[in-house]
Structure 1
Amino acid sequence: MHLSKTIALITLAGLMAGCTTTGHVRQSIGVETVDNDKALAFPPPGGPAIVNVVERRHAKDVDQTISLATSSSVPGQNFLKVQFLGIDGSNPALGSRPFNTINERTIAREMASAVPGVRLARSAIFVQNSYGPFGYASGQSMAGDTCLYAWQQVQAGFAPSREQRNFGTVQVRLRLCDAHSTERQLLSTVYGYTIAGRFDGAALNPFGAPRGADAVLGKPGELVYPDAAPYRTAPISIGYQSQPAPIRPAVIRRPAVTPQQPQVQPALPPIIGPRVPLPDGQNDSPQTGGANGSTSIMAQPSRPNTASNIAVPLPDCNGESGISATCSR
């Protein structure tokens, strides 16, 4: 009897439990992908571009891993990671999770995980961007890609407990590897990134009080120039007239004169052919020349054709043959 009652009670309890089961699945941790414009930090203008943003929430603390465009053969993804730590949670004044200070062991472990297979050397030079000092390490892979890992903690410094302000902290990590960029180009991203998030409460402001104006502004005796270039007093002429422009000596260029060459008359070709006898027996006397004593007729220069020097042979008179005789007119 008791056994049957026990079985009935167990069956009824199982049925009641089955009726209360909804079947819905919930995320055990607050991890979600948000739109790129919801990012709490942005790279500088010009890139690298944002690929996606993964957000994790712990009470009122927020972590975001902002994946950036990557052009490298080194395994892994470029990212800009930002973490906002407030004062609520199990660890008052330090956030809902234990506060991890920056030390060499932590940074070495982060670099080995973010940039595997690349030996990074920490820089010993003090550097600072608009949010304060930061550290970085850089190196090159076997393929020649340049890698950089930077870390920064933005914190105004804890005020006395009675003031209750500046308790917030922002942790930033930046991993960059590129096949075409130099260390200086990658470092410009650390100088140019912008933190877009803030805490709701004024007491959590990690950036400190806004910086005031320069003390020299409005103070007599202090000179303020529009730029850093040196300024010298320019000489002013009498009557406050503008000085004329310096006169440069005029350079006169004359065209080159070509010397005139003497005109050479072309030589006339020699007259070759039968000679025309001159009137009144004015025949040229033959000239001899040459080694064989042959007689040659020297060519005379041509003269203009006029009525006084044209000789026309007369026809034979009375049909006489031989040497032509002068006919009576």
Structure 2
Amino acid sequence: MPPPGGPAIVGVVERIRGNGIEQNVALSTSSKIPGQNYLRIHFFGAQGSAPDVPGATFRTINENDLRREIARAAPGVPMVRAATFLQNTYGPFGYASGRGQGGDTCLFAWQQIRSPSTSSGIGRGFGMIQVRLRLCDNQATARQMLNAMYGFTIVGTFKGRMWNPYGDVAEADERLGRTGEPIYPEGAFSRRSVSLGYGMSTGAPQPLPARPKAVEQVCQPETEAAAPAGPRVPLPDPGAGVSGSSSSTEATGTTVPSPDCIGTAAMTAACRK
């Protein structure tokens, strides 16, 4: 099962083998790179699971086969193998990633799940699970798509301890109950979390609607005939100031302009009259 949140399952093809089962889980694809995204799981167990069906070749991961698988996974995309050691719930895994000419990112990951052998090589479980993941997307990065390798779940196993591919259950942490070994809340001090996330893209993000520009309202002043008369303010006779006479004449009035002619509207020709 892919991790919660995607990529989505669009179909499952299952093949019964004489020594196991192979499932090819087709995943939703949003890319121009040829091919279908998939999560492929192949169980190798005891011969006789389906007596009438031939068994699959029991082969572990080898370098030559791996190169061919990477080349077939994303045609035309230069894939580069990562040198970083990574490990999920089922053990270590590897991956290669690359970017196509159109900008799409592709990731191909592989994992072999098999119980470890003892120091003498005796007592190893014979069951094995091969996992392959192919993802190409036009929005997500390779780091985001790695979430699928950390979050997938295998819900099957083999009967019998000798065919158990997962190995024995891990023992309890040695720090439990010991002095001088503080255990902190998860995520607070114990380790640095890695930000991963992946969901199939639904297209380019839609831009937010543009905010309407404020329309500057320019008020046209009313005509002098229709303009309301403002308060009559008495002013001294301009002639008195020129002649220096101390005698005052009859005060003349002036009309205070309407508030419509204040601000930018005051520069109009009608307001300057």
Between stretches 43-52 and 127-136, larger displacement belongs to 127-136
Answer whether contact 1:151 1:174 (CA < 8 A) is retained. yes
Cα distance, 1:216–1:142 mapped onto 2, change above 3 Å: same
Q: Which amino acid aligns with 2:140?
A: S
Q: Which amino acid aligns with 2:105?
A: T
User: Does 2:122 correspond to 1:122?
Assistant: no
- Counterpart for residue 168 of structure 2: 209
Report the structure number with the largest CA radius of gyration. Answer: 1
Q: Which amino acid aligns with 1:55?
A: E
Q: TM-score scaled by structure 2?
A: 0.63
User: Does 2:38 correspond to 1:61?
Assistant: no
Cα distance, 1:219–1:86 mapped onto 2, change above 3 Å: same
Answer whether contact 1:87 1:96 (CA < 8 A) is retained. no
Which whole-Å CA distance do the structure 2 matches of 1:119 and 1:186 have between them? 17
> How is 1:67-82 mapped onto 2 (pairs within 5 angstroms)?
67-82=26-41
Which whole-Å CA distance do the structure 1 matches of 2:235 and 2:19 have between them? 120
Q: How far did 1:75 drift?
A: 0.8
Structure 2: unaligned runs, 5 residues or longer: 190-232, 238-242, 249-273
Which whole-Å CA distance do the structure 2 matches of 1:82 and 1:216 have between them? 36
- Counterpart for residue 5 of structure 2: 46
Answer whether contact 2:88 2:149 (CA < 8 A) is retained. yes
Q: Which amino acid aligns with 2:3?
A: P
Answer whether contact 1:89 1:97 (CA < 8 A) is retained. no
Q: How far did 1:219 drift?
A: 2.6
Answer whether contact 2:19 2:56 (CA < 8 A) is retained. no
**Equivalent residue in structure 2 for 1:112, among 68, 71, 75:** 71
Which whole-Å CA distance do the structure 2 matches of 1:138 and 1:297 have between them? 98
Q: Give deviations 1:121-171, integer Å, cap 9, x for gaps.
A: 1111211111111111110111110001111100112456874x5211000
- Counterpart for residue 105 of structure 2: 146
Q: Which amino acid aligns with 1:176?
A: L
Q: Give deviations 1:239-291, integer Å, cap 9, x for gaps.
A: xxxxxxxxxxxxxxxxxxxxxxxxxxx99999xxxxxxxxxxxxxxxxxxx9x
Q: Give deviations 1:192-246, integer Å, cap 9, x for gaps.
A: 111111112222111111112111212344333334646xxxxxxxxxxxxxxxx
Cα distance, 1:224–1:122 mapped onto 2, change above 3 Å: closer
Higher relative contact order (CA 8 A, sep 6+): 2
Answer whether contact 2:18 2:56 (CA < 8 A) is retained. no
Which whole-Å CA distance do the structure 1 matches of 2:246 and 2:75 have between them? 114
Which whole-Å CA distance do the structure 2 matches of 1:123 and 1:63 have between them? 27
Answer whether contact 1:83 1:170 (CA < 8 A) is retained. yes
Which whole-Å CA distance do the structure 2 matches of 1:298 and 1:61 have between them? 123
Cα distance, 1:101–1:229 mapped onto 2, change above 3 Å: closer
Which whole-Å CA distance do the structure 2 matches of 1:223 and 1:52 have between them? 47
Cα distance, 1:228–1:56 mapped onto 2, change above 3 Å: closer
Which whole-Å CA distance do the structure 2 matches of 1:75 and 1:122 have between them? 20
- Counterpart for residue 219 of structure 2: none
- Counterpart for residue 202 of structure 2: none
**Equivalent residue in structure 2 for 1:99, among 58, 63, 77:** 58
Which whole-Å CA distance do the structure 2 matches of 1:54 and 1:158 have between them? 32
Answer whether contact 1:86 1:96 (CA < 8 A) is retained. no
- Counterpart for residue 96 of structure 2: 137
The share of aligned pairs that are identical, in percent, is 51
Structure 1: unaligned runs, 5 residues or longer: 1-41, 231-265, 271-289, 291-295, 300-329
> How is 1:237-252 mapped onto 2 (pairs within 5 angstroms)?
none
Q: How far did 1:174 drift?
A: 0.4
The count of residues paired between Structure 1 and Structure 2 equals 194
Q: Secondary structure of the residue that 1:87 maps to in structure 2? A: coil
